[in-house]
Structure 1
Amino acid sequence: MFRNLQVVVIYIITHLGLIFFMYPTDILASTREAYWIPVGLGYLVHITVIFIYLKGLSYFKNQNIHQVLINKNKLIMWLTLLPVFLYLSLITIITVRAYAEIISIVFLADTPIWILMCMLLGIPTFMVIHGGVRSLLRAGLLLAVLFLPPMLFVMFASLQSIDLNYALPLIPKDRSKLFAFLTDFSYYKSLFAFAGGFLFLGFIPSYITYKPKTIYLSSIIVFIFFLLSVYIPIVTLGGETARQLAFPFIFTIDTIEINWLMFDRITIFFLLSQIAFVLLFIAMTLWQIACLIRSRAKKMKNQYLISAISIVVFLICLFIPDWGHVELLLKWNSFLRLYVALVIPTVIFIAGYQHQKHVRES
């Protein structure tokens, strides 16, 4: 039961770390009305992918994705998992570089980017080296207890000056434009937040059990936060104003004024929560990359492997000069993102179905 809770908490807070910065910007860029439709479609794809993924894994009784594929065929395993390795590597690079830039823009403008990247990589590296996945699960629970309350407080405080009329119309006046956002590449960039945090469910060792039902239920919580991240800037500032901002949600909460609070900017509490959740997401991603590499380099010690991965990621991040190149990497990553979201769950499900059929026949 306790481990089941840990997995659910990790699932929720790693997604929370990816939602509030770039996701609202991409959704606002992809459509001008009925914002719940692109958010809802993204969630529908997300929960469908997770269902197929977990259903396929359930056929194998406590085996992770690597064990499932290696039992089939090593060539198939590497053809399937190589794009996953590239995706996880690229998503780590993008997350470290992007969030270093965001932290610099929002409240550490005088701090060199490379120092922020060291922080964003150093802490997760330490967490993975000195505890592995068990410590990450425990850390997730601790971070949730420490940082979810102030984050929720800031979000509730942001509702003090809203105008719900800004959320209208809920249905586009021109019905032919109901799914017009599908032709905008910004929408596919927004799927970064949906596709980044579910893969770890297939990497969890067999001794850590969890119930898929709890993941499905907790995904509703994640969906609510996706909606809030988009609609709070809209109902506070208006769609057109929010669309002009680089980080509309962060700008919105920065306008909050609470006279009885001793702190001038309560934004700092929200940002610290986000940084904590992002650090955990990076740690989980580093651990997944190490799991894939260790299948070929079994004798390599964990501390050397994780350190080597982090150093390579850091060096690559140093060669990314500005935010424009981060945006370019997000575009390139879109193809791998679609592969991870569509191909991996399908392959696991087909392999699981065939395995179950073979077991019944024998």
Structure 2
Amino acid sequence: MFKNMQVPLAFFLMHTGMMFFLFPTDIIASTKEIHWLPIVTGLLIQVAIIALYLKGVRYYKGHNMVSVLMRKNRWLAWATFLPLWVYIGALAALTVRAFAEIISIIVSSSMPLWHFDFMFIAIPTYIVLRGGIQGLMRLGLLIAVLFLPSVFFVLAASFQNVDPHYALPLLPRSTADFAFLGHASYYKSLFMFTGCFLFLGLVPSYVSFTARGIYIACGLLVPMYLMSVYIPLMTLGEETASQLEFPFIFTADTIDIEWLMFDRVTMFLVLGLLAFILLFIAALIWQMENVFRLSVRNVRSGILLPALAAVLFVVCLVIPDWKSVNAIFRWHSYLWGYVTVVTPLVVFAVGRRYVGQPQKEAP
């Protein structure tokens, strides 16, 4: 039971670490009102894709999806996993570069950005090198114990200045309320719903988990998604929140707790989210290593991981500024769309043909 919690908890932490920075900005930019509608639409897409993916993963009965596909059809495997590997690598570089910029703005703008780039790559690489995915999952439990209470504390404190009237209207009144479906910012925000699930097809060979645990984690993420958007909306109003780069972080910075010895409550939130982000980057680096070793060449981790880290660092140095990060994220969303649709379909189709109907999952 305890081991089965590790993967769902890591899944929850990775999403939580990402959502409070970029997600509110994209959702608020995609619509003027009824913001729960694009959030719920994204959640339904997430559940549908993950359900198909986990159904396919269950067919493999605890085997790594890459090794199974390589045995079944090598050309299909390469056609599937080459875009996946490029996607994961680009996502790792963009995540490192984006959060280096964000942490620089929040913590210390005087420190060179490449210092943050190096930290965001070196620490996760060392974690994966020393502990592998098992160590990464155990670290997720420790991070949850240390930092989730402070994140929940800041979330609770953030309600002190809200005005519920800013959340109105709550019900759709016309088809115009679905205009977010044609907005580029909305499709950029969908990364939050489906950007962290692909590792679920790679971990069964190393760490056990149940589909039920993942669905519970998805359910627990629902109020987190809603709070990340509605707390800044109900505190600042839509007009003001839409002008800010990081509306939730700005809202957290307005919290005033007289009995607290720290001047900025935001630091509690940032430290917790930073730990979750490092966990996410470590998972991406592990996925890159795992896919490469199983589908291209079995290179020792002591050689492959530092090489991947060096390439990521160089790519991060090439990206000049925050404007470029946003532009690349938009182009990256096309690759994201392809990978998050094609990979689950291939995993499901090959799994169904490879082993037939899965056994019933133990509760």
TM-score, length-scaled by structure 2: 0.96
- Residue 131 of structure 2: aligned partner: 131
- Residue 249 of structure 1: aligned partner: 248
Distance 1:62 1:296 in 2: 18
Q: Is the 8 A contact 1:65 1:348 kept in 2?
A: yes
Deviations 1:196-220 (A, max 9, x none): 2111110104242111011111101
Q: Amino acid of the residue matched to residue 85 of structure 2?
A: F
Deviations 1:225-266 (A, max 9, x none): 111100000011111110010000000000000000011101
1:349 CA displacement: 1.2
Q: Amino acid of the residue matched to residue 130 of structure 1?
A: R
- Residue 271 of structure 2: aligned partner: 272
1:166 CA displacement: 0.4
Q: Is the 8 A contact 2:133 2:206 kept in 1?
A: no
RMSD: 1.4
Distance 1:211 1:252 in 2: 37
Distance 1:22 1:95 in 2: 11
Distance 2:208 2:358 in 1: 22
1:38 CA displacement: 0.3
Deviates more, 1:67-76 or 1:78-87: 67-76
Distance 2:163 2:122 in 1: 42
Deviates more, 1:12-21 or 1:58-67: 58-67
Distance 1:207 1:145 in 2: 23
3-state SS in 1 of match to 2:6? helix
Deviations 1:106-152 (A, max 9, x none): 12111110001111111001101111011100100000000000010
- 1:358–1:45 Cα change, 3 Å: closer
Q: Is the 8 A contact 1:195 1:340 kept in 2?
A: no
Q: Is the 8 A contact 2:59 2:357 kept in 1?
A: no
3-state SS in 2 of match to 1:131? helix
Q: Amino acid of the residue matched to residue 36 of structure 1?
A: W
1:276 CA displacement: 0.4
Deviations 1:43-67 (A, max 9, x none): 1000111100000111121112212
Distance 2:181 2:23 in 1: 15
Aligned-residue sequence identity (percent) comes to 47
- Residue 89 of structure 1: aligned partner: 89
Deviates more, 1:176-185 or 1:289-298: 289-298
Q: Amino acid of the residue matched to residue 181 of structure 1?
A: F
Distance 1:84 1:357 in 2: 25
1:353 CA displacement: 2.1
Unaligned runs of 5+ in 2: none
Deviations 1:295-348 (A, max 9, x none): 255442202111110110110110111111101110111111112221111111
- Residue 200 of structure 2: aligned partner: 201
TM-score, length-scaled by structure 1: 0.96
Q: Amino acid of the residue matched to residue 202 of structure 2?
A: F
Q: Amino acid of the residue matched to residue 45 of structure 1?
A: I
3-state SS in 2 of match to 1:209? coil
Unaligned runs of 5+ in 1: none
Q: Is the 8 A contact 1:143 1:277 kept in 2?
A: yes
- 1:358–1:72 Cα change, 3 Å: farther
- Residue 117 of structure 1: aligned partner: 117
1:68 CA displacement: 2.6
- 1:235–1:144 Cα change, 3 Å: same
1:352 CA displacement: 2.0
